Structure 1
């Protein structure tokens, strides 16, 4: 029992019990591949967050180790990701605008706060709260954020500056500085984008025709960003890009991150509390979605609450090691999976690889053009844009379409923080709307069976004296009035009704407000000479009704099946 308790909080202990040489080799190879991918990604997302490039490396070390120890997913790879980096940039820009706190300190505190929020939610097993964010709304938010990220990097692609967090800020700034673009910067940027596109679009088919295994092809194409980094470093050094006005990364300090306690102040914590909460929510939803997807492929299990704890502690680790908020990344996790990672040790080995890079390989990064990383970001985030969600939700559900459209529009026009709030609000409003509008169908008997179906969808038998409604959902304060109106409206229109039957096969719960209204319905129908019956009442609901003495005052009966109720009412 003690061991089971330990493995719940430290899932890696369960892995150690069956770890062997073969798994070690597979994890080492996967870590090598992921390290190659993470180096340009980490640098790029640090710049996207407005931080020095080396901070991206720091945020890819300690968090990976901590998640490897505490995470329930064997494949998920944690580190800087595009959307969280953009949200961090927005929050940090506002907090540091006054100059009272430096950017690095604010970034560390933001990571620390996000981590504490996630860890507390996980300890109290509140992972279910993330389910209140609908997937269409999340998709809409990520799509809008990806467009903002891509647009913000277009300035780097042109070699100009453009500040702003929204579409309305970025576009005018770009237009004003467009005439000052650097031709060589643009040429390099477009060259990198074209190389990444051709690698993905054409190299795959070419390598497959040459007989290269699909998994190997996938890994080679994923390494394309690292190739573009190496090539542009070499060309930049050889032809002295800096003399031509191409912005370079510059000096990147070598060494591992130092462990320091962020300088916490009450005013800073208050300023970053809301952004930290938003980052925690979006980061967790994105992370757990990726983890569950990969776990399903391998028939493994993910503990959502443990993921909260693990991701929270990873962010706390980022805060204490000079990093910024992190999350489970889709691209790096997919590469980790495709490279053959088997356990959490792959994350530990990847962190070691990033650490070696930070110690020994930062010198050549001086000559890396910033436009290379901007091109890498643009190419990566455009894959996150899913405009088809608008078409899909339009055909599937107009309510979902409205919430997605609103989230996209608000995020683009007012910024990511307002977009997150809008997305959460849209999801909750959609949930409340649907809870208050249960599906209520008038049903009739399908000829030759004992089944009852919606009279608007099936050819069924009905009796003028009998009215039957089936309620699909909970009976509660938010929706009971709709049922009441349907009953009274039908009774007024059809004077022949003598029996009303509520088919409760889909009713899982009833609250006090609904019970009060049912009692009123029973009294009012009795006054009109109409008998109220219930059928197929589930046990927990029946227990509630009996505890309130409602059934003892019911004018009709409670039937085990709707068929029995229909036969009784039809013959009365």
Structure 2
């Protein structure tokens, strides 16, 4: 009789519900509490993001309803929270204003169109298994990019904190215009903003688990109802539509296509990088197997849900994911709990939200911006990796001085440049024996020999067009500067896994040059794939020696120490056996 396989196991292997199954009954209460915590902290936060994105307040709530449910059902990560995000919200406001006025009906429709376009891009990325693209946005560039976004977001809310209209383009001009008009500040608005900041910071310092933003929101709504804030010159949110979001297909006009594609591509890069990095971090924390490509489908479904419900792009949120994790949540059950609470708010509590004072949202968004300025990360980069600190600083500078879209492009380009620099500035060594007879690596220098007349040169990277010149130059330098003539150069190719066309041609030239000087060249421990490439290029030839490619340094030395390359060379027309 065959052993029974549980239905739960079958479900767990299905391409959906991976973030929910298998269900652990003992974990359920913790997940529910974590979901309530996420709702308490997340609702004010996503409402604040609408000030960044330039969309109605209710659209923030929509981002943690159907999009949250879509990812919970289809995504693979058990921890990742997918909702509104400050970085993508800032990209929308920084790019779509070229074709529509911020906050206009056309603009809001465009934000949904971008979400649908992002969903399509994510589907294409999944079809071609492009989850690896997340690796091309370095953590240092992402730190700089998000720091720049934080400066931009915080600077943009300074005017709202003191009851002034936002003026000026870019953080520097916005701060300058606030300083010029500071005498025109509304004192009641300023006092309320300061009170909210005190509540948020006080809760964070005295009771870190207390939902400071939620306390400020509830308290200010109650005060607004009692004291009629709008009559005292304090702006309020105004009517917030209740009920479920309407389903519709986002429109797209021919004159908007280019801007939509540019905006969507910028959001796509941030979503791929930030979501994958967050999901991987929490999967590693709990020793779970991540699946970037499955998460991409979940993100696509979440963005499609956002588009069809009239809201903007959603993204994997590191801050919300940490909120759930810190509250004890370990599965997507927590996120479904949050969605249920948001549904109740939309059905029964939108009228109180209409009394929410605008400076309260400004204060919440200002704090979000301040939190994004990663002083700790920048300081750590400066202390530990100065070149990557420069990358982060440049990415932040582009966001602050130009705009978010160019900031993300700069972050990607700088990440690729940093990768190329690391590949080019690789580590090379020569091997020699220590007094105990063991092989040790030394910096590349003449006369550091493995045996009389033999140098072993280790190249610790793939050979490609950017570093092949260094490979050739260093070997020739070892030959040229040797105090006594070398007979053999052995290349320890243990770390070489690929050779491109440029490197292959360089190897041919190097082999010919060493032949001319009467120096033989051999290699050790090359993987099969690279061995085939070398044989194709016929780059390494140890004429008359039975083994061109040796398994270890010791075998190579034993085979070559008594052989002269010139003496063992066959006639030019001889065929290799």
1:145 pairs with 149, 154, 169, which one?
149
| Residues 9/311 of structure 1: CA separation in 2 closer, same or farther (3 Å cut) | farther
The one-character-per-residue Cα deviations of 1:290-328 (angstroms, maximum 9, x if unpaired) are 222222333222210111111111111101101001112
Contact 2:449 2:456 in 1 (8 A): no
Written as runs of structure 1 = structure 2, the 5 A alignment for 1:61-460 is 61-97=65-101, 102-164=106-168, 166-204=170-208, 218=209, 221=210, 223-455=211-443
Offset of residue 356 of structure 1: 1.3
Contact 1:477 1:511 in 2 (8 A): yes
In the aligned structure 1, how far is the partner of 2:516 from the partner of 2:458?
A: 23
- Larger mean Cα displacement after TM superposition, 320-329 or 392-401: 392-401
Contact 1:119 1:308 in 2 (8 A): yes
Contact 1:119 1:310 in 2 (8 A): no
The one-character-per-residue Cα deviations of 1:534-568 (angstroms, maximum 9, x if unpaired) are 22323332232234444556587433222343456
Offset of residue 143 of structure 1: 0.9
| Residues 200/178 of structure 1: CA separation in 2 closer, same or farther (3 Å cut) | same
In the aligned structure 1, how far is the partner of 2:103 from the partner of 2:385?
A: 47
In the aligned structure 2, how far is the partner of 1:287 from the partner of 1:164?
A: 32
- Larger mean Cα displacement after TM superposition, 556-565 or 141-150: 556-565
Offset of residue 461 of structure 1: 6.3
Contact 2:134 2:276 in 1 (8 A): no
Higher helix fraction (1 or 2): 1
Contact 2:34 2:327 in 1 (8 A): yes
Contact 2:79 2:282 in 1 (8 A): yes
Contact 2:521 2:540 in 1 (8 A): no
1:561 is aligned to 552
Contact 2:248 2:309 in 1 (8 A): yes
In the aligned structure 2, how far is the partner of 1:79 from the partner of 1:67?
A: 10
In the aligned structure 2, how far is the partner of 1:555 from the partner of 1:240?
A: 97
Query: Is structure 2 residue 491 aligned with structure 1 residue 502?
Result: yes
- Larger mean Cα displacement after TM superposition, 263-272 or 350-359: 263-272
Name structure 1 gaps, 5 residues minimum. 205-217
Offset of residue 149 of structure 1: 0.7
In the aligned structure 1, how far is the partner of 2:405 from the partner of 2:224?
A: 37
In the aligned structure 1, how far is the partner of 2:40 from the partner of 2:296?
A: 27
- Larger mean Cα displacement after TM superposition, 268-277 or 3-12: 3-12
In the aligned structure 1, how far is the partner of 2:103 from the partner of 2:374?
A: 38
Offset of residue 21 of structure 1: 5.6
Instruction: Report the aligned-residue RMSD.
Output: 2.8
1:212 is aligned to none
Written as runs of structure 1 = structure 2, the 5 A alignment for 1:20-31 is 22-31=26-35
Contact 2:11 2:17 in 1 (8 A): no
Q: Secondary structure at the match of 1:12?
A: coil
| Residues 112/469 of structure 1: CA separation in 2 closer, same or farther (3 Å cut) | same
Query: Is structure 2 residue 17 aligned with structure 1 residue 12?
Result: yes
Q: Secondary structure at the match of 1:383?
A: helix
Offset of residue 38 of structure 1: 2.2
1:48 pairs with 45, 49, 52, which one?
52
- Larger mean Cα displacement after TM superposition, 70-79 or 27-36: 27-36
Contact 2:520 2:542 in 1 (8 A): no
TM-score of the aligned structures, taking structure 1 as reference length: 0.90
Q: Secondary structure at the match of 1:318?
A: helix
Q: Secondary structure at the match of 2:255?
A: helix
2:566 is aligned to none
In the aligned structure 2, how far is the partner of 1:21 from the partner of 1:468?
A: 61
Q: Secondary structure at the match of 2:166?
A: coil
| Residues 482/456 of structure 1: CA separation in 2 closer, same or farther (3 Å cut) | closer
In the aligned structure 1, how far is the partner of 2:54 from the partner of 2:479?
A: 66
Offset of residue 179 of structure 1: 2.3
Contact 1:311 1:327 in 2 (8 A): yes
In the aligned structure 2, how far is the partner of 1:569 from the partner of 1:452?
A: 20
1:519 pairs with 508, 523, 529, which one?
508
Q: Secondary structure at the match of 1:534?
A: strand
In the aligned structure 2, how far is the partner of 1:432 from the partner of 1:4?
A: 44
Offset of residue 252 of structure 1: 1.0
In the aligned structure 2, how far is the partner of 1:242 from the partner of 1:58?
A: 26
In the aligned structure 1, how far is the partner of 2:103 from the partner of 2:73?
A: 38
Name structure 2 gaps, 5 residues minimum. 564-577
Contact 1:122 1:307 in 2 (8 A): no
In the aligned structure 1, how far is the partner of 2:65 from the partner of 2:474?
A: 61
In the aligned structure 2, how far is the partner of 1:13 from the partner of 1:493?
A: 62
- Larger mean Cα displacement after TM superposition, 417-426 or 512-521: 512-521
1:486 pairs with 460, 466, 474, which one?
474
Q: Secondary structure at the match of 2:508?
A: helix
| Residues 510/7 of structure 1: CA separation in 2 closer, same or farther (3 Å cut) | same
In the aligned structure 2, how far is the partner of 1:177 from the partner of 1:14?
A: 51
In the aligned structure 2, how far is the partner of 1:270 from the partner of 1:235?
A: 46
In the aligned structure 2, how far is the partner of 1:524 from the partner of 1:461?
A: 21
Q: Secondary structure at the match of 1:171?
A: helix
In the aligned structure 2, how far is the partner of 1:512 from the partner of 1:250?
A: 65
| Residues 175/527 of structure 1: CA separation in 2 closer, same or farther (3 Å cut) | same
